[in-house]
Structure 1
Amino acid sequence: MEVDTSTKDNPLMSLKMERQPSNNVLKFLRWFCPPELLEGIEGDLLEDYYNNLERIGEDAAQRRLIVHVLQFLRPGLILRNKFSLNLNIKPMFANYFKVMLRHCLKRKFYTAINIFGLTIGIVFALLIGVHIYEEANVNHTLKDNDRLYLLESNGSREVIGFPFLVPSPIAKTTKEEYPTLLEDYYRFSDRSVTVSKGDKHFRIQSIIGDSTFLKMFGFPVLFQNRINKHSDRYALIITERMARQFFERSDVVGESLTLTTEAAGKKDYVISAVLKDIERNSITNLMNMDAQMFLSIDNLVDFGQFDPESWAGGQMVSYVKLAKGATVDAAEKALSKVFKSNASQLFTNSVTIKLNPLNTYHVTSNNGIVQKQIIALSAVAFFILLLAVANFVNISIGTSISRIKEIGVRKAIGGVRKEVIFQFMLESFAVTILAFVLSLGIYQYSKDFFSNITGNVLPSLFEIPLMFWKFAIPVIVFTAIASGAYPSFFISSFKTLVSLKGKINSVGKEGVFSKGLIGLQFLCAIGVFIFALTVSSQVSFFLDKDLGYDKSSVLTVSSVPRIWNQEGVKKLEAVRSEFLSLPQVNSATLSWEIPNGNYGNNILLYNEGKTKEEALTVPLFMADENFASTYKIDIVEGSFLTPQSNPFEIVINEEAQRVFKVDVGDKLRIATSDSTAKIIGIVKDFNFFSLHEKLRPVAFIHLRNTNVFRYFSFKLEPGNLSESVEAVHSKWRNIFPDDPFDYAFVDEKVSALYKTETQLKQAFNIATVIMLILVLTGVLGIVSLAVSRKTKEIGIRKVLGASILNILMMLFKDYAKVVVIAFTLVSPITYYFISIWLSNYAYAIEIQWWMFTVPGVIVFFVTMVIVIVHSLHTVRINPAITLKQD
């Protein structure tokens, strides 16, 4: 017997037979390589591949072959190809346009669905995209924003109180001692000030800070007095909006305004500069303020505040600008050294100073709540755009059955597949561009409505920064490609003879793909629906939860004249009695705090027998004796404050009682002094702060012992609130003719604490509606196509005895399966992400079964209604008519 030893005696030949290179790599080479060079290049590459196969192994040889092929992919080689496109471009495009227009007019209903879906998807993505761009770019317009940092106290909340407050001298001292690390600094303290000009009286949010304000941040100045500098004590910088508010013009440099100060009474200030209205992405937005007036730091004394150069004084919001080349680590070490050298040991052992970059502060602050909102909204915008694309693909595939003869004719007369693909991609781009143009118009008219939802004023089309379009245009192009790619390749893949017959054999694969897209749409819609219900429930929980006090019908006035001395307190107490004489007022109280999530002071307390280093920072509420009764705060033990309460008598809440393990009559030591505070009463726990954070220990002291106050709170009688407010306002004008009446209801203040969640709730609600519209519109289109294809089948079934109900259930059965599968898949995924979202809150709802069931049931039944209603007409047609159709 003769044996073939040709490969046995030649190991290289045996290796070639066993391990061939990837055919895809060679196909790619043949695609771009000129024919006259292909044989030589491919031969050399294969020879090199087989040599590498012996030396370095198959995987490494494959990788090296790919690299070598890619090295040939260069213009010098590609351009040697001879392109013979003997087509006149203009007639070709004109023909494509005519075919597209004819198809669109013939299928008006499906064309309208495609344009509608893409338009809705793009406009929502555009609105969300602009909103996200604005949020992400807060503080980015500040001068040298990449070197601007906020100083923060880093430590436990029980010790530091407010993270954004640091010892007032630290920024200035560090700048003076380390000039090579810090280029500049700015410190400020905020004040709401009564400003007057003639008979105009307004309460204006102001900032009292260093003279480095303009140099530090680079705000644009419209008008400026070069002689009267910001460093002058009684110089004033205002915004253009404030200038028009008082003078009805903007060039008001040299004019004067009267400010009411706490310690020095009324003082005249000269306007030294007018700023262009400060945009939202500015320094004044960091502390949730809308500052319109800027004063010199020398004015702190007039406004009853501390010496900013004293380490034993208070704390301030402080910013620094790093010197060029300086690192954050080096600056933090310098700040830490200055802090430990000058601050009280009570704080230096438990607190460190950190730098927080301003260009990301807005997004990452408050436990990253804005960042989470951006992620959530980005996901929703993506899913809505995905749904719109899925609709387009499904409808395009469905209507392609009617175009297979057209494709067959094109191929029969010499058309190649590339041209067919190009035509259909061109149609996809045309529809997408039309949808994009329509979305621009809708954006312009809907931006104000969306701004009201997000609380972020969206710019007009002509004001949107160019940088945004650099991101938006590629998204639109990708949408067009994604919409047209699969239909183009699917339609062009039919063989010429099959196309000319008008029948295809791949309906099964096409049907599976279409159902997969519909399933994806249902999955997205149900998922967003579930999340919308969860967000809505959480917001309702925030607003409806028993906070431990009564916030209903409580009117607060923030423009109380700040006469901070004993005479001022007595005067305001007398005024309180005058308001109580109104039949519309049930009770009234004067205080420093109201339930708006903010408080002004802390007290360091610790148990007797322990050390100062174990002291906890406890919010200190300064109020009069009527505070508990006005807000309906229950007294658990002892009594509330009285006018006779001395500075060392406090009332605490139940949480403080648990933390310090004390009762009425016990004493707590004050860490900042050698004195003790006696507990005269314990009130029931109440949530004066946001429900984002856990319940905290608090202490009350009578404001007669501090002589400071900010708010009047009036508990109004049930009835017509508008009339009650007008009655209080009328009394206010009589008592304080030179002070504005700035008021708000406590429930509005509480709602404002959950502004981001409320915005997210409204955005999700809109997104849910849009998604359902897109999904159900898509289902309508697909059902219409499916029914038109099954007309003859329906007629046969009716002839064989099938009832209308049986046929309708047959048509709905496939969609019901898709909805059930989508619901089954999305439920655990949504549960996982909802659990993560809710874990960010100290007080959160429990995830309930109905939050998942309700969206699934609604989508199921609405889909059933659409399928049945749209199919009913066809099902009722006489079989004698349908069976005659081709």
Structure 2
Amino acid sequence: MLRNYFIIAWRNIIKNRFYSTINVLGLSAGIAFTLLVAAFVWSQLQVNAHLKNADRQYIIQSKWKNPGMGQELTTIEKLPEALKREYPHLVANYYHWDGVTTNVSKRGKVFREGLQVGDNSFLSTYGFKLLHGDATTALTDPFSAVITAEKAKKYFGRTDVVGETISIENFSGSKHDFMITAVMDDQPANSVITVNEDNANGIFLPFAAAGYLNRQVEGWDKFYLVGYWELQPGVQAAEVDRAMLQLVRAHAPAFAAENLQPYVVSLKEYYLSANDGLIRKMLYALSATAIFILLMAIINFINMAVSRSSSRIREIGIRKVMGGLKQQLIGQFLVESILLVFFAMLLAFFLYVISTPFFNAMLGTELPGLGSFPVYFIVYPLLLTLVIGIMAGIYPAFILSSLKSADAVKGRLASIKENILLRKSFLGFQFVTAAVVLIAAYIINQQMNLFFGRSLGFDKEFVIAAQVPRNWSAEGVERMENIRKRFESMPQVQNISLSYEVPDGKNSGTIDMYNAGADSTSFSTAQTLFTDERYAQTYNIPMAAGVFYTADGFATDPQKVVVNESQAKALGYAQAADAIGRQVRFSGWQSVFTIAGVTKDFHFGSMQQAIQPAAFLQVKLIRVYRYFSFKIKPGSMATSIEAVEKEWAALMPGSAFEYQFMDDRLKLLYKSELRLQKASMAATVLSVIIVLLGVTGLVSLSVQKRTREIGVRKVLGSPVSSIIRLFLKEFLGVMLVACMVACPLAFMMMQKWLNGYAYRIDITVLPFLICIGSLLVITALLIIAQTIRVALANPVKSLKTE
């Protein structure tokens, strides 16, 4: 019997190729998109899940009374070790590290690399798999190094490189060989080797190497290391938080003891909750979008099945007259429906495979292949196939199989009105979803344009940044300034600046600043930026008053400072000009500084936060620097960069010229938003396609059922335009109602999303008019294209149609 069901089902699918194809394509597209999003969500939830004892691994976070006092990500250097020593019943292991970048070379290959300088418990604590080497002894020597397989291939072309050496440059410009003692397998993303999106480490050094690198990292007064703990079984995070607070109050400097409250976050939770839960919010948004796209596809499938079912009434009657049982008819319709869904699921798997590279590029990640999922995951597509098949087949299976034989043979639906209201409700839901997705994508795109537009307060166009070799001494700064002058003389370079920061949201910390004649307790906290006098010119940061350190052609005085408008107001000056020439002090410093200039406020970090007060200090004063920022003259960018690279090699031989456009650095700030933007655009295209497929099928069915009616109307003198309006009226009315529902829904959703940003666009009527108008026009054109053929046909042929 089951074999017979499949044979008849296959014959019906072949007989109605057009409708079957539309149904399968629409459903498979929706399922494929859902699978892709589900794979991405699943991969994001796996971050840190593969660590050894993952449920007990925690990262230390810092909560300051004033967020500007310090970074949330880093902690006091002595805290992890002290807690392990004094509270061994709470902590099983600890790990903390300092991140640096420097030149790494081997056999003429020189690259700028991120190094992680940390405890030798790194490998054993987290259970990272080694391809070569011994985890217990890998980081015991001060000049040993553990590298990933990717770095081994990069420098040596193979992974079996234990015993080989790489040369690492310190911050004084000297180099030393480090022996490779272990090679790690390339790791999936996790918060130990990649603590944030743009900080991926592939070379790991022991903590003892900090001295060689000229990094002063040890002490209760060092707040810039990342710390982790593995808790003892059964220990609660709250117990550790209380113990940390006691240690901070007992050992840390007064500033930290009074203002810092450390706490721990599970590594399985940290990735999702960092940056105000940005990743989690993105996953919720993508998941909701995928679910609605899938619902659209399912509804489209069900709508077509219900619409087609009425054309098989005579078939049902004949089978009942011939002795067909109700349960047999039910089985037949359900098998047909499930078989169609099964074909759609197979096509969806194929679409998943071929579209994975596109989604990888779109989301900036590696989606898992179909073979990467646990075996039990096969249950979900099978269950989905069964549920959708039953949902789509339940109407013809149970309703039409219950018709009286006499009515069915005559093709009459005595008590059933073809469920027009149901079909229109389904179609309306599709239009609502498509309109909401389209409007949301439009508004997200507008907000992203704000992020990368000219409203940043500085000019990022034609600016590239490259890290320079470090020699943090008076001689090192002087050498860099001489090199800067050489670059300035190049015809391709408009401006160049030496600085510790570029405007990408990562400043060196904060400093307490107060007026020289005031009490030191009346300070304001400012972000510190260490730059030379060319910084404002290079980034075209406008001045509100004064000059950026000094006027052109004059020597720069290191005792001059520059502040932004927000900091000038924090110091008590209502007008920027009032701050010029005023003397200020910094907490902990004896020197008195003079404000030389006030810049206009500009966005140094993400627009999620308000612009913070900022103070610019001269690199000559602090003698720290990291970047050359080049403002390239308009023209052939590739030729100009090639010329700069040649000059770089001549002026700084042995140093890697690895540059980034400021646009690319800013993209790291908004990586989650960019993912959401690209995914929403893909969802928009897909939702419109699904709606149009549904309209195509329903209009075709409607035209088929009303062909004779069209012939009668033409014989009675109806013009073609009248017949077209007949079908437009049937569908556009549903669309208009759907759009009236979609607009307030989209407004509320996007208003809530935009409220997460201190700087945001205003929602106007324009996105709604453009999106709704476009959807209406496209649908109307599709309806016209399908109806015009039958409206122009010979009415004699139409009247002969059965």
Q: TM-score range by the shorter chain?
A: over 0.9
- Answering whether residue 116 of structure 2 is matched by residue 201 of structure 1, we say no
- Answering whether residue 206 of structure 2 is matched by residue 296 of structure 1, we say yes
Q: Quick check: 2:173–2:470 contact (8 Å CA) kept in 1?
A: no
Select which of 342, 364, 370 maps to 1:461.
Answer: 370
- Residue 622 of structure 1 corresponds to 530
- Answering whether residue 357 of structure 2 is matched by residue 441 of structure 1, we say no
Q: Quick check: 1:261–1:303 contact (8 Å CA) kept in 2?
A: yes
With over 3 angstroms needed to count, the CA separation of the structure-2 counterparts of 1:207 and 1:522, relative to structure 1, is same
With over 3 angstroms needed to count, the CA separation of the structure-2 counterparts of 1:467 and 1:281, relative to structure 1, is farther
- Residue 474 of structure 2 corresponds to 566
Secondary structure of 1:349's counterpart equals helix
| 1:709-858 equivalence runs, <5 A | 709-858=625-774
Deviations 1:464-512 (A, max 9, x none): 3446545554344433333333443333332332212222135535111
Deviations 1:657-677 (A, max 9, x none): 112214123333423345544
Select which of 267, 276, 293 maps to 2:185.
Answer: 276
Q: Following the alignment from structure 2 to structure 1, what is the Cα–Cα distance between the partners of residues 257 and 404?
A: 80
Answer with 206-215 or 630-639: which moved more.
Answer: 630-639
| 1:7-22 equivalence runs, <5 A | none
- Answering whether residue 542 of structure 2 is matched by residue 634 of structure 1, we say yes
Select which of 260, 275, 278 maps to 1:351.
Answer: 260
- Residue 210 of structure 1 corresponds to 119
With over 3 angstroms needed to count, the CA separation of the structure-2 counterparts of 1:482 and 1:361, relative to structure 1, is farther
| 1:217-616 equivalence runs, <5 A | 217-225=126-134, 228-263=137-172, 265-288=174-197, 289-308=199-218, 310-466=219-375, 468-469=377-378, 471-506=380-415, 508=417, 510-558=419-467, 560-607=468-515, 615-616=523-524
Higher relative CO (CA 8 A, sep ≥ 6), structure 1 or 2? 2
Q: CA deviation at 1:580?
A: 1.4
Secondary structure of 1:738's counterpart equals coil
Q: Quick check: 2:529–2:617 contact (8 Å CA) kept in 1?
A: yes
Q: How many residues align?
A: 793
Q: Quick check: 2:338–2:385 contact (8 Å CA) kept in 1?
A: no
1:624 partner letter: D
Deviations 1:264-317 (A, max 9, x none): 721111111110012223522222212110011122232232242x11234311
Answer with 539-548 or 703-712: which moved more.
Answer: 539-548
Task: Please report the TM-score for the alignment, with normalisation by the length of structure 2.
Answer: 0.95
- Answering whether residue 563 of structure 2 is matched by residue 652 of structure 1, we say yes
- Residue 667 of structure 1 corresponds to 583
Q: CA deviation at 1:113?
A: 0.6
With over 3 angstroms needed to count, the CA separation of the structure-2 counterparts of 1:805 and 1:227, relative to structure 1, is closer
Secondary structure of 1:140's counterpart equals coil
Deviations 1:757-811 (A, max 9, x none): 2221111111111111111111111111111111122222222222221121012
Secondary structure of 2:72's counterpart equals coil
Q: Following the alignment from structure 1 to structure 2, what is the Cα–Cα distance between the partners of residues 537 and 487?
A: 46
Answer with 505-514 or 644-653: which moved more.
Answer: 644-653
1:93 partner letter: L
Deviations 1:615-648 (A, max 9, x none): 4432111111111121122222232225965665
Select which of 605, 613, 618 maps to 1:689.
Answer: 605
- Residue 81 of structure 1 corresponds to none
1:252 partner letter: V
The structure with more radius of gyration:
1
Deviations 1:74-132 (A, max 9, x none): xxxxxxxxxxxxxxxxxx12211121111111111001011111111111111111011
- Answering whether residue 800 of structure 2 is matched by residue 884 of structure 1, we say yes
Deviations 1:798-846 (A, max 9, x none): 2222222112101210211100000001111111111000000111111
With over 3 angstroms needed to count, the CA separation of the structure-2 counterparts of 1:711 and 1:825, relative to structure 1, is same
With over 3 angstroms needed to count, the CA separation of the structure-2 counterparts of 1:226 and 1:597, relative to structure 1, is closer
Q: Following the alignment from structure 1 to structure 2, what is the Cα–Cα distance between the partners of residues 509 and 617?
A: 71
Q: CA deviation at 1:439?
A: 1.6
Q: CA deviation at 1:213?
A: 0.7
With over 3 angstroms needed to count, the CA separation of the structure-2 counterparts of 1:647 and 1:737, relative to structure 1, is closer
Q: Following the alignment from structure 2 to structure 1, what is the Cα–Cα distance between the partners of residues 113 and 381?
A: 39
Q: Following the alignment from structure 2 to structure 1, what is the Cα–Cα distance between the partners of residues 765 and 478?
A: 57
- Residue 43 of structure 1 corresponds to none
- Residue 44 of structure 1 corresponds to none
With over 3 angstroms needed to count, the CA separation of the structure-2 counterparts of 1:675 and 1:666, relative to structure 1, is same
Q: Following the alignment from structure 2 to structure 1, what is the Cα–Cα distance between the partners of residues 585 and 484?
A: 33
Q: Following the alignment from structure 2 to structure 1, what is the Cα–Cα distance between the partners of residues 196 and 302?
A: 47
Q: Quick check: 2:173–2:471 contact (8 Å CA) kept in 1?
A: no
Q: Quick check: 1:142–1:282 contact (8 Å CA) kept in 2?
A: no
1:446 partner letter: S
- Residue 33 of structure 1 corresponds to none
Q: CA deviation at 1:684?
A: 1.5
Secondary structure of 1:230's counterpart equals coil
2:752 partner letter: I
Answer with 866-875 or 771-780: which moved more.
Answer: 866-875
Q: Following the alignment from structure 2 to structure 1, what is the Cα–Cα distance between the partners of residues 265 and 379?
A: 29
With over 3 angstroms needed to count, the CA separation of the structure-2 counterparts of 1:219 and 1:640, relative to structure 1, is same
- Residue 617 of structure 2 corresponds to 701
Q: Quick check: 1:138–1:282 contact (8 Å CA) kept in 2?
A: yes
The root-mean-square deviation of aligned C-alpha atoms, in Å, is: 2.0
Note the residue ranges of structure 1 that are not aligned, 5 or more in a row: 1-91
Q: Quick check: 2:47–2:188 contact (8 Å CA) kept in 1?
A: no
Answer with 380-389 or 479-488: which moved more.
Answer: 479-488
Q: Quick check: 1:646–1:705 contact (8 Å CA) kept in 2?
A: no
Q: Quick check: 1:121–1:385 contact (8 Å CA) kept in 2?
A: yes
Q: Following the alignment from structure 1 to structure 2, what is the Cα–Cα distance between the partners of residues 715 and 808?
A: 60
With over 3 angstroms needed to count, the CA separation of the structure-2 counterparts of 1:575 and 1:608, relative to structure 1, is closer
Q: Following the alignment from structure 1 to structure 2, what is the Cα–Cα distance between the partners of residues 441 and 541?
A: 38
Q: Following the alignment from structure 1 to structure 2, what is the Cα–Cα distance between the partners of residues 489 and 614?
A: 79
Q: CA deviation at 1:402?
A: 2.2
Q: Quick check: 1:188–1:318 contact (8 Å CA) kept in 2?
A: yes
Q: Following the alignment from structure 1 to structure 2, what is the Cα–Cα distance between the partners of residues 784 and 226?
A: 68
Q: CA deviation at 1:416?
A: 3.2
Q: Quick check: 1:159–1:615 contact (8 Å CA) kept in 2?
A: no
With over 3 angstroms needed to count, the CA separation of the structure-2 counterparts of 1:714 and 1:385, relative to structure 1, is same
Task: Please report the TM-score for the alignment, with normalisation by the length of structure 1.
Answer: 0.86
With over 3 angstroms needed to count, the CA separation of the structure-2 counterparts of 1:477 and 1:155, relative to structure 1, is farther
Q: Quick check: 2:148–2:186 contact (8 Å CA) kept in 1?
A: yes
